[in-house]
Amino acid sequence: MKYSQFNSIISIDNVFYLYNSFIQKFIVIDPLLKDLLESAVIEGIDGLEEIHPDFFSYLKSEGFLIPKETDEVGKIKEIVKNVDENVDSFFLTINPTMNCNFKCWYCYETHIKKSSFSDKMINKVSRFIEKTTQKPKMNYLSLAFFGGEPLLYFKRDVTPVIKKLQKECRENLVDYSISFTTNGYLIDDYFINFFKSHEITPSLQITLDGYGKKHDEVRYVTKTKGSYVEIVNNIKLLLNNGFPVRLRINYTKDNIDDAYKIADEFDDIDLKTKKEFLLIDLHRVWQDSGNEDIPNIVNKNIQYIKSKKIPVKHNSPNNVVESCYADKRNSVVINYNGDIYKCTARDFTKENRAGYLTDEGDLTWENDYLERRMDVKFKNNPCLTCRLLPICNGGCSQHAMEALEEGGRGEYCIYDGDDKLKDDVVKSKIEEIIGSLELNEA
């Protein structure tokens, strides 16, 4: 037998946990057994069977010890191939505009006033949807709206695409879903009623930049009028109508202290609705740095949100089984002007584009972009020996391309090879499992 490459031993509140990132399972181990196991890893794991046969047998049965001939990295590669090369599904993201009603200081996009779909572009996208839903093996099409703010021209530019998608999916017996990444300010009764009348339940990701005034300092209508109250009320409107909401809290060292108070806003939403339709997801603004106590402050926020019986996530990647849409062969981001990309986390400039949508509704990838992207994931050597490979996988293929292709920095680790940062990820996975069990028992 051998000790799995994907095992980690960490301490949380003086309790030792053995976690495996492939099976995504943990066990609590006694300190003496922890010491015994760590010694056996150094001296030869098979020796543990003689010293403590029951412990050895248990670790073997639970998947923490595996046969020597097991190719663990090969298993990950096979999963990635099955997930990312799947031809049964397609993930379509559309930017109907690059205009926005807010100007967040950290936004990486170039906002373009008066940018929107033309009738010609709507026809191109319609042709693409027709061809995609008619593919012989197509079973599912995900349509996501991004931007810019995708609700700016919702009635004029978005609803025709949704109607076309629904028509083609019904005719070709293809399942579908609709989602929006939006600031949430423009959600209204028309938005709700449109989807109810078409018997569609969209999911939404909506961002708050901290609690109350902290948010209003970043996202405001005018210098004297914020947006926090309106956005919170709109989230409640969505929840009460059964629309799933991922509430993303973009935190910084300046707004994290009282971000937990956001959970109090939903005290008037019944527990069943919160558990079923609301998820709070904390992300640090990538341009923000400083304050070494941030992890502890974030954890206090998380514990408070959990006490409100609201599902919460933070620093919890699962990039193999639930890989990013951009890692999948069958995915594309179509900009309002017909340029195509794979990723929404980069500015939508001509220099960054990966190709274009033709008048006939076909994708043209330039400079062999699609094949280069699909081939890059396992070319980063540090990933191949890492204990977090099954959940991290080197971040997304965007990271890999930018690092490993000509002009990039070369081999990399998104945690900078820092074992403490990796332990923080393991801790978050363990706490997520525990939190899920507690939430289900509540």
Domain ranges (residues) in the chain = 2-70, 84-314
pLDDT in tens, 14-35: 999 999 999 999 999 999 999 9
Please tell me the predicted confidence (pLDDT) of residue 108: 77
Please tell me the predicted confidence (pLDDT) of residue 111: 83
Query: What's the mean pLDDT in 48-52?
Result: 96
Please tell me the predicted confidence (pLDDT) of residue 442: 59
Percentage of residues in the chain having pLDDT higher than 90: 86
In this predicted structure, the answer to whether residue 167 has a pLDDT above a threshold of 80 is yes
In this predicted structure, the answer to whether residue 439 has a pLDDT above a threshold of 80 is no
Please tell me the predicted confidence (pLDDT) of residue 106: 81
Please tell me the predicted confidence (pLDDT) of residue 436: 77
Rounded Cα–Cα distance for residues 260 and 257 (Å): 8
Query: What's the mean pLDDT in 118-147?
Result: 97
The alpha carbon of 332 is separated from its chain's Cα centroid by a whole number of angstroms, namely 16
Q: Considering Cα of 424, then 426, then 429, then 433, what sign does the dihedral take?
A: negative
Q: Give 308's pLDDT tier (boundaries 50, 70, 90).
A: very high
Residues 6+ apart with CB under 8 A from 330: 86, 87, 89, 90, 91
Q: Give 432's pLDDT tier (boundaries 50, 70, 90).
A: confident
pLDDT in tens, 143-165: 999 999 999 999 999 999 999 99
pLDDT in tens, 314-344: 888 899 999 999 999 999 999 999 999 999 9
Q: Give 64's pLDDT tier (boundaries 50, 70, 90).
A: very high
Are β-strands 312-314 and 65-66 bridged in parallel, bridged antiparallel, or unpaired?
A: unpaired
* Predicted TM-score of the model (pTM): 0.91
Q: Give 286's pLDDT tier (boundaries 50, 70, 90).
A: confident
Query: What's the mean pLDDT in 103-124?
Result: 88
Please tell me the predicted confidence (pLDDT) of residue 222: 87
Q: Which H helix or E strand runs over 383?
A: helix 381-384
Please tell me the predicted confidence (pLDDT) of residue 114: 87
Measured CA distances, 92 to 82, 325, 331, 335 (Å): 19, 9, 6, 11
pLDDT in tens, 170-185: 999 999 999 999 999 9
Tell me which CATH code domain 84-314 carries: 3.20.20.70
Contact between 328 and 396 under an 8 Å Cβ cutoff? The reply is: no
Q: Give 226's pLDDT tier (boundaries 50, 70, 90).
A: very high
Query: What's the mean pLDDT in 223-233?
Result: 94
pLDDT in tens, 83-95: 999 999 999 999 9
Are β-strands 363-365 and 355-357 bridged in parallel, bridged antiparallel, or unpaired?
A: antiparallel
Question: Whole-number mean pLDDT of the chain?
Answer: 94
In this predicted structure, the answer to whether residue 441 has a pLDDT above a threshold of 80 is no
Tokens of 262: 């956001």
pLDDT in tens, 255-282: 999 999 999 999 999 999 999 999 999 9
